[in-house]
Amino acid sequence: MPSDQRSTPHPLPSTAPSLPHKWLRISGLLLVGLFVAYLDRSNLSIGIKNISTDLGFASDGFAATSSLALTAFLVGYLISNFLGGFLTARVDAKWILLVTVAGYSVCTLLIGFTDSVGVLVALRVGVGIFEGVYWPQQFRMAKAWFDEREMTRASAMIQYYGQYLALALGFFLLTPIEASFGWRPMFWALGAIGLLVILPLYARFLPTAPGTTIRATPEEGARKKLTFASFGGGRFLLLVFSYFANGMLFWGITLYIPLIVPTFGFAPSVNGLLSAAPYLVSLLLTVPMMILGDRSGRRGPIAISGLVVGGVLLACVALTGSPVAQFSLICLGLGYFTAAYTPNIWAIAVTDLPAHVVGPATGIINGFGAGGGGVVAGALVGALLAATGTYTLGLSILGLVAILGGLSLFLYTRMRPAVPEVPEVTAA
């Protein structure tokens, strides 16, 4: 077995619990739910220009205020990922999902009524808090219902496709909707979809305990304390830092891509499509990357290449003054990075972690990584925009950080202990 496929001494059972239509009821539903959740995360980037005009920060204060508003979500997200993973570890994941979907949908709906920057920021923090608690529950579901040989596909369906379909289609669809109807109806519609579509679907079809109950060996059942060693010790910090680098690169671009694209001077009518282009590239590259991963079984090197290759391409943005070249580097860099890294990293993490650690650990990884990395990246790119009047320097720095993240993940894969090889099983 390749070294990056080795796991900790806590492998999942070879046979997952039986559940009729589990790929549809779990992976399919969570894909749809995360799709809507990511529309709620990215919608402010689409409406921020018109919001700044209506709320009075369209002039000199735009860079600072828009950065505050855009990163407010990530502040709440950072805090609640940490807390949500620990505080909900023994509560049925289905009910946590229902509460959090209702919470962030209500916050999104209320944003459409606000006339105050302060209220806007507070509601965005609220969206982040509820979505941060939501996040670890997906992987509690995956850990309970899918075995190790199914985890890459389950992770890709739940997390990757939900996220990147939303970004690819969201910028493409929401940009003309916001331009035609305004930013307020956009928030009202997305909040209503969460409350009237996702919430009833989850309530009706997601499984409850014992499916979401932690499954453990007798040895694990005797000791369920969360210790530094149970997370993997120092190796876990390397994994967290790699996701921090991922969060900086991903959110540093995603928060600002609707604002970056118009600076290239392309026709305004195609700005929505161009904003979606990096995520469309990602979706196209994902199929060959998943085939390569399945045939080689090398999750680690593929994920590492995502950070390193993507980082190198983004680091080169500041080296050219051509708008076409800069846009191409952004598309290829973000597209390859996300296609190679994202479908593999959660499969690596979830299969390496003991069952009772999955919720807290994925909360820490995503909280510090996506939340913390996103906050730092948003502030960094916003500050450099205010200082230089351009986004290019910020994007290049994000690329350099991603390269460091690739090195961190490389060290993590070298330090993972080996276990006896598990025979390959072909999925039906």
Q: What is the mean pLDDT of residues 22-31?
A: 87
Report how far apart, in Å, the C-alpha atoms of 8 and of each of 80, 180, 238, 278, 416 are: 27, 53, 15, 35, 7
pTM beyond 0.75: the answer is no
Question: 70-122 pLDDT, tens per residue?
Answer: 888 888 888 887 776 677 767 888 999 999 999 999 999 999 999 999 999 99
pLDDT of residue 168: 77
Report how far apart, in Å, the C-alpha atoms of 415 and of each of 183, 257, 307, 349 are: 48, 36, 19, 13
Question: 156-167 pLDDT, tens per residue?
Answer: 777 777 877 887
Helices (H) and strands (E) in the chain, counts: 18, 0
Question: 328-357 pLDDT, tens per residue?
Answer: 999 999 999 988 998 788 778 877 887 778
Burial readout 390-407 (b: 16 or more C-beta within 10 A, e: otherwise): ebbbbbbbbbbbbbbbbb
Query: Distance between CA 151 and CA 110 in Å, rounded?
Result: 37
- Kindly indicate the confidence band of residue 422, based on its pLDDT and cuts at 50, 70 and 90: very low
Query: Distance between CA 313 and CA 330 in Å, rounded?
Result: 7
Cis-peptide into 207, omega within 30 deg: no
Task: Give me the helices (H) in 297-422, please.
Answer: 299-315, 323-352, 358-366, 373-388, 392-415
Closest CA to 168 of 57, 280, 71: 280
- Torsion of the alpha carbons at 101, 359, 169 and 117, rounded to the nearest 10: 60
Q: What is the mean pLDDT of residues 179-204?
A: 95
Classify residue 213 by its DSSP letter: S
Closest CA to 37 of 130, 110, 112: 130
Classify residue 15 by its DSSP letter: S
Q: Record the tokens describing residue 352, joined without a space.
A: 């390496």
- Tell me the residue ranges of DSSP E strands in 155-243: none
pLDDT of residue 153: 73
pLDDT of residue 74: 83
CB atoms under 10 Å from CB of 61, counted, come to: 14
Query: Distance between CA 8 and CA 10 in Å, rounded?
Result: 5
**Degrees, nearest 5: CA angle 249-303-376:** 20
Kindly report the average pLDDT of the chain as a whole number: 82
Q: What are phi and psi of 21, to 5 degrees?
A: 55, 40
Question: 30-59 pLDDT, tens per residue?
Answer: 999 999 998 998 899 889 989 999 998 887
